[in-house]
Amino acid sequence: MLGSASPARLSTLRAAGLDPEVIVSGVAEDGIAADSPAALAATLAELKAGAVAARLLADPHPAAGVTIVIGCDSVLELDGVAYGRPASAEAARAGWRRMRGATGVLHTGHRVIVLPDGAPGSGTGIPEVRAVTGTGSTVVRFARPTDEEIDAYVATGEPLRVAGGFTLDGLGGAFVDRVEGDPHNVVGISLPLLRTLLAGLGIKWIDLWQ
């Protein structure tokens, strides 16, 4: 189960051989605080995965077999400040004026929860539930788009749908000079980190291939 509405995360997992069912968590990101941008990404991932797991645990007719819930959330750290999705076109434009020529860090929190076969649902969790959290961080070096390019990019609407107001795998990729670290993490889900987290819970990555 993927607790995210992000089409980029879903397509990344599908390209890697997984085919998760999507259950949108419904967690509101506004008003959540943490000690650092990286911690914020992890906290949001935990909340999203937890909301989906609680919904599944509350189901009086749970699905047969072990269920894996994956929750992710990304934030861009720039000068120590965390930026999620821009709230408006003007915010996206202002963000890009800050970002151009700068270096930031894209943090993606990952929360994996494993629900046992036929787990009874109380909505509060049970002892057999296993979970782990990890955060991937990738350095992003931005190009210097002109004001005209920024306005045109914001007008596409893409920046309003993604953390930090940019993509690596979409129209915004032309405005990123390079990344240092896992590029999948910038897209929204780190495949190497996810594989490691699953292995820690006794789940083999290759067993999840469809």
Catalytic residue numbers read 73
**Distance of alpha carbon 162 from alpha carbon 140, whole angstroms:** 15
**Distance of alpha carbon 96 from alpha carbon 171, whole angstroms:** 14
Residue in 83, 82, 45 with CA at minimum distance from that of residue 165 = 83
Residue 77 and residue 107 in contact, taking contact as beta carbons nearer than 8 Å: yes
Rg (CA), the chain: 18
